[in-house]
Structure 1
Amino acid sequence: MSIEAEALLQEAKESIEAAQNYRSELQHRVQGLDLARQQIKGSATQTRAVLVQHFQELQGTVSRLLEERLAALLLEVDAIEQDSVRPLDDCQKLIEQGVSTADELLREGEAALRCGVGEQDDKLGSFTKKALQIQLDSLPEVPSLAEVSCLSAQLDDSLLPAVKGRICTHGSVASHPPVQIDELVERPGGILVRWCKVDDDFAAQDYRLQYRRSASSHFEDAYVGQDSEYLVLHLDPHTEYLFRVCARGDGRWEWSPWSIPQTACTTLAPHEWSPGSEEYSLSSRRDIALKNDSPLCGAGVLYSQAPTYCCRQTLTFKIISAGQPDKRDSVGVCVDRRNGQDSLQRDQAVCITTSGAVFVNGKEMTNQLPAISTGSAVTFDMEVVNVFPVNINNNEGASVKLRVTIGSGSREVVFDWLLEQVCEGLFFGCSFTHPGWKVFVF
């Protein structure tokens, strides 16, 4: 085969491969379009169902409340009517009794007048005496129309326009939720969730973050507040979780629609204190350590179960409760675990004491941070600055320079820490002399 034929054959093969890749990419984009179309149609169907259910419930509730209010007002009319008519009925009974007495007296008087001369005097005397006893000049008091009830209904004509105005503006439909999850970053035993507003006109007052296992149907609240990121802890490694976030507008009570759920999982083992120490008690998840109150326990270092802290991550020590401080107290990170030590203020370790002093390889820095107390949070952030090759006695290796940032309160110190060897992960530890210190690490 000639060179030209080989070139044409190679060009044809490359064109076929390019066409296959092109077709594959187009098919992938078609799948993306199908997913987008499914999201639009699915969310539209769900939104219709939510609107119908909400307005049906609203209509039923409003109708029931109006019926209950009407029934209450009618009962009030009945009660007023009965209370107002009762005195008139009593007065009418008195008048009817008087009319009956007068009729009887008239019959007796007329009968007395028809009697003979011999009986007339006695009859007329008895009639006159009876008439005096009846007190014919005493009449019952009949109230005037101004004194009796005249029922009426007082109805607020502004209610209907107000309700109409609220109904006309009740509810809204949005093509996109006002807030979306922006980033999901795996952390040891957790996921750092960051979100952002996508609607510039929406003034967010609070955010609400929820999560659930992918296999579960129930979301749990993880965070409610004003921050735009949150570290969700106590997640099982290699397990997928769904995350969603919504917001509440400024001055409003209702929450916005949820963001599009995002899936993430962490492959990093959670930070755990090493069990088995008589000097410290651990929580069930081993992320909280409590210095024991025992006369047999002195100063000692509690290390992590494994070197789980890596560069470009944030390690946080949260002081849940504080005991009596001591100059040997410290929290920090180290290259290795050394038994028999009473503090992290040693070689191949960086730490901060409860008084705020910072130690690097056992030497105190001039810069100092605020003292540690209950509620304090100390953070460690590290990144690789440079790696130096080392060749000692033909044994190849490398040392590494780390840029360390330790933060406490509103202050932080930054320095370079030179390690003799490259470490994939670092241990963390704490040391307290007196009981009562309780530390949460994450």
Structure 2
Amino acid sequence: MPGFVGGAAGDAGSCSRAGPFHRAEMEEAEVERLIEEARESIEAAITYRRELQHRLRGLSQARDQIKESAAQTRETLRQHFQDMKNAVSKMLDERLAILLQQVDTVEHENIKPLDDCQKLLEHGVSTAEDLLREGEVVVSDKTGKDHQNLCHFTNKAFHIQLDSLPEVPSLVEVPCLSAQLDDTLLSVARDQIFSHGAVASRPPVQIEELIERPGGILVKWCKVDDEFVVQDYRLQYRRHNSGHFEDAYVGPECEFMVLQIDPNVDYQFRVCARGDGRQEWSPWSVPQIGHTCLIPHEWNPGLEGYSLSSRRNIALRNDSPCQSVLYSKSATYFPGQTLTFRVETTGQPDKRDSIGVCVEKNDGCDSLQRDKAVCVSPSGAVYVNGKEMTNQLPPVSPGSTITFDMEIVSLGPTNNNEGPHHRRRVTISSGNREVVFDWLLEQSCGTLYFGCSFVYPSWKVLVF
């Protein structure tokens, strides 16, 4: 029993020592868990604060946009109506001057005959007075010369023609000037003025999307005012906060590719619209900032037979002989991207002419109608690995655009089990038609070259 009791006591002592240690571990684990939860809460609070601060900045920008646009609109309205006042005042002054000049002209033209008549009458009065005085002297003279003086006086009076009087116009025969003024002008002007101008809370068109392209940005916009009937859109751009906006496009389309964009440089874009039957443009949309990180497509310089533009995105087939394909400077076209060729001018076509893409350069070939290449001829024929397809595109003409779109579809064994193949879904579009097919390549190829070949001169092709 004593041993039993001692053994029991030992076990009890062991439990007594293990209990506090176990509780300490549990407390430590709980503390770690709480610390971890606290850290997560801190991280969540930091993220939450950051998002709130971001929204505060956005709210501040929105407030600034309202205040700045309101201030600019006030200044525009004041300046416009001040200009209108000045213009109307100037026109009224000019019209008043014309009417006063007309009064002066009528007065002068009709007063002159009256002045001449007055001079004649005054001369007659003076002559009559002289004759009257002379007659009185003759009649009162009692000398022996009476008979002679009377004869002289009578002859003089006869020659003066005292019974002939100048014609004097009556009042109804001479002008009586007056101003003809139409008071309805004020009512018409009042109606026009009270309906002149409007304040819009937002522009009728806004930029919807900016898509980066090699050496360019595709700008898409949309109309946000359903009641605004659009005749034309106007797109402008500039380097961010640098210089003046330049026109990039004017027309009815809702998207435009802005080329000659330097990579990794921010540009501002804005668009406005002109209503149907109107001459003035709407307010500008809120400027949007975009850039492209994709280097521009360039033709490879130095090939005799082709002249390139300064940016090397336009190739012109010149008169020099050439028996090779003009390729891109490097393999810059990759799946998921749209590659576009625009034929600016055309020359005499040849069945060997081609525009398209290829896996590798081959300076020994005079056309892309070969293996590991896809191309289009000026007739609209489509060639895949040198074989002509049944489906065709419209013939190429000046201004035609040819677009290539590709996506990798699958990687799997070939039908003859010779090895894996790489399948690409290719879509070639031109005009209102497109050709879709799968292009099989025996080896993986991340990027492709593009190229063109023309036998005769005058062909000019822009790539973007």
Distance across 2 between alignment mates of 1:179 and 1:343: 46
Q: Contact 1:205–1:250 (CA<8 Å) still a contact in 2? A: yes
User: What whole-Å deviation, never above 9, does each CA across 1:154-202 have from its counterpart, x for those lacking one?
Assistant: 2222211122122212222111111111000001101000001111121
Q: Contact 2:304–2:322 (CA<8 Å) still a contact in 1? A: no
Distance across 2 between alignment mates of 1:283 and 1:17: 54
Distance across 1 between alignment mates of 2:192 and 2:444: 66
Mean CA deviation greater in 341-350 or 123-132: 123-132
Q: What SS class does the counterpart of residue 196 from structure 1 fall into?
A: strand
Structure 2 residue identity aligned to 1:334: C
Structure 2 residue identity aligned to 1:388: L
1:320 deviates by 2.1
Is the counterpart of residue 428 in structure 1 residue 428 in structure 2? no
Is the counterpart of residue 304 in structure 1 residue 343 in structure 2? no
Question: For residue 461 of structure 2, what is the aligned residue in structure 1?
Answer: 439
1:350 to 374, 385, 400: 374
Identity level (%): 64
Is the counterpart of residue 333 in structure 1 residue 354 in structure 2? no
Q: Name the CA shift for 1:124/1:202 in 2 (closer, same or farther; >3 Å).
A: same
2:440 to 418, 421, 424: 418
Structure 1 residue identity aligned to 2:425: R
1:156 to 182, 190, 208: 182
Calculate the TM-score normalised by the size of structure 1.
Answer: 0.93
Distance across 2 between alignment mates of 1:154 and 1:80: 15
Is the counterpart of residue 193 in structure 1 residue 215 in structure 2? no
Structure 1 residue identity aligned to 2:350: D
Q: Contact 1:300–1:432 (CA<8 Å) still a contact in 2? A: no
1:226 to 241, 252, 257: 252
Question: For residue 81 of structure 1, what is the aligned residue in structure 2?
Answer: 107
Q: Name the CA shift for 1:107/1:378 in 2 (closer, same or farther; >3 Å).
A: same
Question: For residue 55 of structure 2, what is the aligned residue in structure 1?
Answer: 29
Question: For residue 100 of structure 1, what is the aligned residue in structure 2?
Answer: 126
Question: For residue 394 of structure 1, what is the aligned residue in structure 2?
Answer: none
Alignment RMSD: 2.0
Question: For residue 277 of structure 1, what is the aligned residue in structure 2?
Answer: 303
1:4 deviates by 4.9
Structure 1 residue identity aligned to 2:452: C
1:360 deviates by 0.7
Distance across 1 between alignment mates of 2:165 and 2:133: 20
Q: 1:11-90 counterparts in 2 under 5 A? A: 11-90=37-116
Is the counterpart of residue 403 in structure 1 residue 425 in structure 2? yes
Q: Contact 1:398–1:422 (CA<8 Å) still a contact in 2? A: no
Q: Give the paired residue count.
A: 434
Structure 1 residue identity aligned to 2:259: L
User: What whole-Å deviation, never above 9, does each CA across 1:270-307 have from its counterpart, x for those lacking one?
Assistant: 1111001012111111111111213xx14321011112
Q: What SS class does the counterpart of residue 172 from structure 2 fall into?
A: coil
Calculate the TM-score normalised by the size of structure 2.
Answer: 0.89
Mean CA deviation greater in 349-358 or 420-429: 420-429
2:204 to 175, 178, 181: 178
Q: 1:89-168 counterparts in 2 under 5 A? A: 89-116=115-142, 118-168=144-194
Is the counterpart of residue 388 in structure 1 residue 411 in structure 2? yes
User: What whole-Å deviation, never above 9, does each CA across 1:79-102 have from its counterpart, x for those lacking one?
Assistant: 221111111010110111111111
Q: Name the CA shift for 1:39/1:434 in 2 (closer, same or farther; >3 Å).
A: same
Q: Name the CA shift for 1:206/1:361 in 2 (closer, same or farther; >3 Å).
A: same
Q: Contact 1:316–1:379 (CA<8 Å) still a contact in 2? A: yes
Q: What SS class does the counterpart of residue 300 from structure 1 fall into?
A: coil
Q: Name the CA shift for 1:400/1:61 in 2 (closer, same or farther; >3 Å).
A: same
Distance across 2 between alignment mates of 1:84 and 1:422: 102
Distance across 2 between alignment mates of 1:53 and 1:425: 56
Structure 1 residue identity aligned to 2:65: Q
Q: What SS class does the counterpart of residue 406 from structure 1 fall into?
A: strand
Distance across 1 between alignment mates of 2:115 and 2:240: 76
Structure 2 residue identity aligned to 1:433: V
Distance across 2 between alignment mates of 1:99 and 1:286: 100
Distance across 2 between alignment mates of 1:409 and 1:223: 20
1:40 deviates by 1.5
Structure 1 spans left out of the alignment, 5+ residues: 392-396
Distance across 2 between alignment mates of 1:97 and 1:357: 106
Q: What SS class does the counterpart of residue 402 from structure 2 fall into?
A: strand
Q: Contact 1:320–1:374 (CA<8 Å) still a contact in 2? A: yes
Q: Which has the higher helix share?
A: 2
Is the counterpart of residue 368 in structure 1 residue 385 in structure 2? no
Distance across 2 between alignment mates of 1:421 and 1:9: 54
Structure 2 spans left out of the alignment, 5+ residues: 1-24
User: What whole-Å deviation, never above 9, does each CA across 1:397-441 have from its counterpart, x for those lacking one?
Assistant: 974322222222332222221223343322111111112222222
Question: For residue 242 of structure 1, what is the aligned residue in structure 2?
Answer: 268
